[in-house]
Amino acid sequence: MASPKAHDWIMDMAPYVPGRSKVEGVEEVVKLSSNESVFGASPKAVEAFKDTAGGLMRYPDANSNDLRDAIADVYNLNADNIICGAGSDELLTLLIHTFAGPGDEVIYSQYGFMVYPIQTRAVGATGIAVPNKNWAADVDGILEAVTSDTKLVFVDNPNNPTGAYNTWSEIERLHAGLPDSVILVLDAAYAECVTADDYNAGESLVEKYDNVIMTRTFSKMYALAGLRVGWAYGAPGIIDVINRVRMPFNVCVPGQPAAIEAVKDEEHLQASVEFNTTWRDWLTAELNALGLKAVESQTNFVLVEFPDESKSALACNEFLTKRGYLVRALPPLPNHLRISIGSEEQNKGVIALIKEFLG
């Protein structure tokens, strides 16, 4: 009897493995594995979320109109060219599903956000992983990899899992070298964390060219990961196409007003960023002082390299896990761990444990 069968390329895929949040035998874990923000969301966003409880029988506004207006107002953008999604994951996924298929190529960095290779495989397109340069995207490597089959180029800037970034002039150079038919996706999930002066998330390129889209999220510095709200600012032609294929009610009833209050609360965002910068600098310095190599980060996590097999990243990960500290081990980078910024106590706790591990 014939049974349902997916495309072969789907059967070759492994499901996404998220950061762990539980350890057997440990009652309360310290989760530093998913780049969430312990600083927490704006109290005004939390209030707005609670206020929606009475209206949950309703569908949300299908076009997230008020949210798009609020984002446009705060970031000085044209609301018509903004699209909201169930996390930026949804928008990144839709870009691949809309613009690529079998026979097409999608370019990204070898060490970069996992959603790009996963979704590229899901549509049967070919992923081209270009080795990183100084842990960020290698502009020349990407330009060399472009062929007549290339449909999309993804740059997570700053990069997850490395934390490194590309300067704005590098991004402009990358765009200038791409054919008009290739979409440049600037995934700026960590844009709010960036303190470097020569960084730009991408608005000005979006406004000048038909082949650029920038994606953003409320999951990181706005600390609303649980509500799944993201947005993108793109050339009108790209936004129009994604709007045709997305699910109509993609941003939930509690998510829209909470994100509106979050984006309007600029004071809270600034405090969140200051907290993140302080502890990112501290964590980086402490890891380096322990003789490890921390990659300079512009995000809310730090990637750190362990020296040798006797004191390996995997052994350290096991040591931390047993003690209830969850950080991220990354199979493509077996000598490294990615540690998200936690509270003061959590940051001090993870450093004390790594010190103990190193002996």
Please give the Cα distance from 7 to 227 (Å, whole number).
32
Nearer of residues 193 and 351 to ligand PMP, judged by Cβ: 193
- Classify 253 as helix, strand or coil: coil
How many residues belong to the site for ligand PMP (CB under 6 A)?
A: 13
Among 60, 87, 255, 257, which residue sits at the site for ligand PMP (rule: CB under 6 A)? 87
Please give the Cα distance from 93 to 330 (Å, whole number).
21
Tell me which residues in 9-68 interact with ligand PMP (CB under 6 A): 35
Please give the Cα distance from 334 to 323 (Å, whole number).
21
Rule CB under 6 A: is residue 117 a binding residue for ligand PMP?
Answer: no
Nearer of residues 60 and 87 to ligand PMP, judged by Cβ: 87
Rule CB under 6 A: is residue 347 a binding residue for ligand PMP?
Answer: no
Rule CB under 6 A: is residue 358 a binding residue for ligand PMP?
Answer: no
Tell me which residues in 226-245 interact with ligand PMP (CB under 6 A): 230
DSSP of 129-142: EEPPBTTB--HHHH
Instruction: Write the CA distances from 81 to 107, 132, 215, 233, 236, integer angstroms.
Output: 24, 31, 12, 6, 6
Instruction: Write the CA distances from 258 to 50, 131, 229, integer angstroms.
Output: 9, 39, 9
Nearer of residues 113 and 306 to ligand PMP, judged by Cβ: 113
CA 152 to chain centre: 17
Rule CB under 6 A: is residue 187 a binding residue for ligand PMP?
Answer: yes
CB of 276 to ligand PMP, least distance (A): 14
Rule CB under 6 A: is residue 222 a binding residue for ligand PMP?
Answer: no
Among 41, 189, 273, 320, which residue sits at the site for ligand PMP (rule: CB under 6 A)? 189
Give me the residue whose beta carbon is nearest to ligand PMP: 87
Please give the Cα distance from 120 to 95 (Å, whole number).
10
Residues found near ligand PMP in the complex (CB under 6 A)? 35, 87-89, 113, 156, 160, 187, 189, 217, 219, 225, 230
